[in-house]
Amino acid sequence: MRTHVVDHPLVAHKLTALRDENTDSPTFRSLTDELVALLAYEATRDVRVAPHAIVTPVAPTTGVKLASPKPLVVPILRAGLGMLEGMMRLLPTAEVGFLGMMRNEETLEASTYAERLPEDLSGRQCYVLDPMLATGGTLAAAIKFLTDRGADDITAICLLAAPEGCARLEDELSGIDIPVTVVTAAMDEKLNEKGYIVPGLGDAGDRLYG
Ligand code: PRP
């Protein structure tokens, strides 16, 4: 597993405003949207493209277009939904699949309550959207879901990650032999006793949707 912390002053600036407890929901949603677009730019660095011949007003040339099969974008409900629009702005022709997952706030274990994904993901690049990588249980389960269906390249885009969650992910995915990348705006200090990222930004789902 590869972890990429995006080091960019605009990312840091928007993340600081997101973290601020005085930022209200409408502002939080629009900052999330802006931040995701910046993270998605980095996360799609290895998106597959194929040669594409065109003619400019001056001469024929060969460029690229997104390769087939199209990438699949998977927001993890509920909070991942707040990241979908920003992602689709960069990949407007991507397909979208949905996973509904909820973390039990006492046991911190993740469970799946909804799933709408293509049956066969063979040869597909997948982009998973989830703002928080805390204990890593949710993302580990989501990635296993996708690899069981045949996905062969997975990139998770998170606003924030905790070292404990990354370590668990690394451990749980050790038997999976496809490329898995986590792209995040920051690697925070730790988890607290409630499984919240510290300093974090609170509960992303609540801050997005109340
Ligand atoms: C939060 C967050 C992640 C998950 C991270 O979702 O959006 O999906 O917890 O925690 P983990 O890494 O410890 O598994 P939550 O379960 O609160 O659901 P929500 O998106 O509906 O708010």
At residue 105, the pLDDT reads 86
Residue 137 has pLDDT above 90, yes or no: yes
Percent of the chain with pLDDT over 90: 96
Is 32 close to ligand 1, i.e. is its CB under 6 Å away? no
203 an active-site residue?
Answer: yes
Is 42 close to ligand 1, i.e. is its CB under 6 Å away? no
Residue 210 has pLDDT above 90, yes or no: no
At residue 149, the pLDDT reads 95
32 an active-site residue?
Answer: no
120 an active-site residue?
Answer: no
- φ/ψ of residue 99, rounded to 5: -130, 125
Mean pLDDT of all residues in 170-198: 96
Residue 157 has pLDDT above 90, yes or no: yes
pLDDT tens per residue, range 19-35: 999 999 999 999 999 99
131 CA → ligand 1 middle, Å: 8
Is 187 close to ligand 1, i.e. is its CB under 6 Å away? no
**Atom from ligand 1 closest to the CA of residue 205:** 22
Residue range(s) defining the domain that contains residue 157: 2-209
Is 132 close to ligand 1, i.e. is its CB under 6 Å away? yes
Exactly one of 107, 116, 120, 171 is catalytic; name it: 107
At residue 16, the pLDDT reads 98
45 an active-site residue?
Answer: no
CATH number, domain of 106, equals 3.40.50.2020
Identify whether the C-beta of residue 185 lies closer than 8 Å to the C-beta of residue 157.
no
Is 188 close to ligand 1, i.e. is its CB under 6 Å away? no
Band of residue 202 on the pLDDT scale cut at 50, 70, 90: very high
Is 79 close to ligand 1, i.e. is its CB under 6 Å away? yes
Residue 159 has pLDDT above 90, yes or no: yes
Over the chain, what is the mean pLDDT? 96
175 CA → ligand 1 middle, Å: 24
How many structural domains compose the chain? Answer: 1
pLDDT tens per residue, range 92-126: 999 999 999 998 988 988 999 999 999 999 999 99
Band of residue 71 on the pLDDT scale cut at 50, 70, 90: very high
pLDDT tens per residue, range 36-46: 999 999 999 99
199/182 Cα distance (integer angstroms): 19
Band of residue 83 on the pLDDT scale cut at 50, 70, 90: very high
**Atom from ligand 1 closest to the CA of residue 137:** 14
